[in-house]
Structure 1
Amino acid sequence: MIEVEIKAKINNVDEIKSKINNLNIKKFKEELQEDLYFQSPIVDFAKTDEALRIRKTVENNIANIFITYKGPKIDSESKTREEIEMDIEDSEKASKILKRIGFTPVRCVKKRREYYQYEECILSLDFVEGLEPYMEIETVLEDDSQYKNSQKKIFEIFKKLGIEDGFERDSYLELLENKK
């Protein structure tokens, strides 16, 4: 699966929510996310632009847990990359397994995320502890043959929302680490 994702810093959340409403884009859920990122004992993910995390989400007091591998970004304009995800039952046990085989926890990233659906894209307003608000727009493809078309569509949606700058390719983990 290829995730085509572009994100931008939001200066005025109320203004963006008003524009979302004017385009008749509906919020379909809100959840809390807690991501625990790991560093590999073999490969420096910061250098290879990869990521491995355990994510716990909570929506309406129901928790879901999964582990995600994100491959290197495949272009210089977006965060388009391979993503492999798997549901797991116990984040503590998964974390313990990763630690036992040499992976080390790097940082926990916590956020509140509001999800909106617009055509085949998911828009999310993200409120990350320690960062300014951001909006991510993403879509998922089976392979990377059409990712340029998807990127173009995502930039068009940003333009409809009046967002034409503030784009960011770094992950929230990288943004938080760079603030140190």
Structure 2
Amino acid sequence: MIEAELKARVHAPEAVMRQLDKLATARVEVYQDAYYDRADGSLERADQELRVRTVHGPDGRRTVLTFKAAAVDEASGSKPEHETRVEDSEAAHAILQGLGYVPVIAFQKRCRNYEFEAYGRQMLATLVKVPEIEGTFLEVETLVDEDEVPAALDDIRAVLAELGIGAADLTRETYTGAVAAQRD
């Protein structure tokens, strides 16, 4: 499946949050993300990602191992995504390092997740604050087959427009890149 996704900088986060609160009940979670690469940096050069995410939320803690292949839509950065839940986060990190992957960057994301249906699709909207990056971001995504990506992105743009987010607010800036720039 492809994670068709658009990300935007939010200039009025409280207003967007109020609108999202009308669509669904927020799930407030803190993500601890750790990204890995091969020692030669070949995953990054191939536009691929390998991540261990530990989610702390009201229902406890869960860890997810994710691999994202290269983008299938250059404008949005939408990528094929493969995820699985892992029982032991420490073991996940140890396995990746034992296989030769090296930790590249780790950081925290504070998220308000909203799951809802729009335009016949299951959508996930996430308001994101990364302590090391100024501002608030909004990610809206849906999982689709590759041939549905253009139509899904159109539907996501429509949801964003309803939330007062325009094309000028969209960004391809990555959290990993922005956090790394802050740390340099």
* TM-score normalized with structure 2 length: 0.89
Over 6 Å off, 4+ runs? none
1:167 is the counterpart of 2:170: yes
Report SS of the residue matched to 1:135.
strand
Shift, 1:42, TM fit: 5.7
Query: Residue 137 of structure 1 aligns with which residue?
Result: 140
Shift, 1:113, TM fit: 0.8
Query: Residue 67 of structure 2 aligns with which residue?
Result: 69
Of 164, 170, 180, the residue aligned with 1:177 is 180
Aligned 1:80-159 pairs, distance under 5 A: 80-119=78-117, 120-131=122-133, 132-141=135-144, 143-159=145-161
Alpha-carbon distance in 2 for matches of 1:51, 1:64:
20
Query: Residue 48 of structure 2 aligns with which residue?
Result: 50
Report SS of the residue matched to 1:82.
strand
* AA matched with 1:156: A
RMSD: 1.6
Report SS of the residue matched to 1:58.
strand
Shift, 1:175, TM fit: 2.1
* AA matched with 1:17: M
* Paired residues of 1:3 and 1:80 also in contact (CA < 8 A): yes
* Paired residues of 1:27 and 1:114 also in contact (CA < 8 A): no
Task: Report the count of equivalent residues.
Answer: 177
* AA matched with 2:152: S
Alpha-carbon distance in 2 for matches of 1:27, 1:61:
14
Shift, 1:80, TM fit: 1.1
* Paired residues of 1:32 and 1:112 also in contact (CA < 8 A): yes
* TM-score normalized with structure 1 length: 0.91
Alpha-carbon distance in 1 for matches of 2:57, 2:42:
33
Alpha-carbon distance in 2 for matches of 1:178, 1:44:
20
Alpha-carbon distance in 2 for matches of 1:94, 1:109:
17
Q: Percent of aligned positions with the same letter in both sequences?
A: 25
* AA matched with 2:178: L
Q: Which runs of 5+ in 2 are unaligned?
A: none
Deviation string for 1:108-127 (max 9, x for gaps)?
12011111133121111011
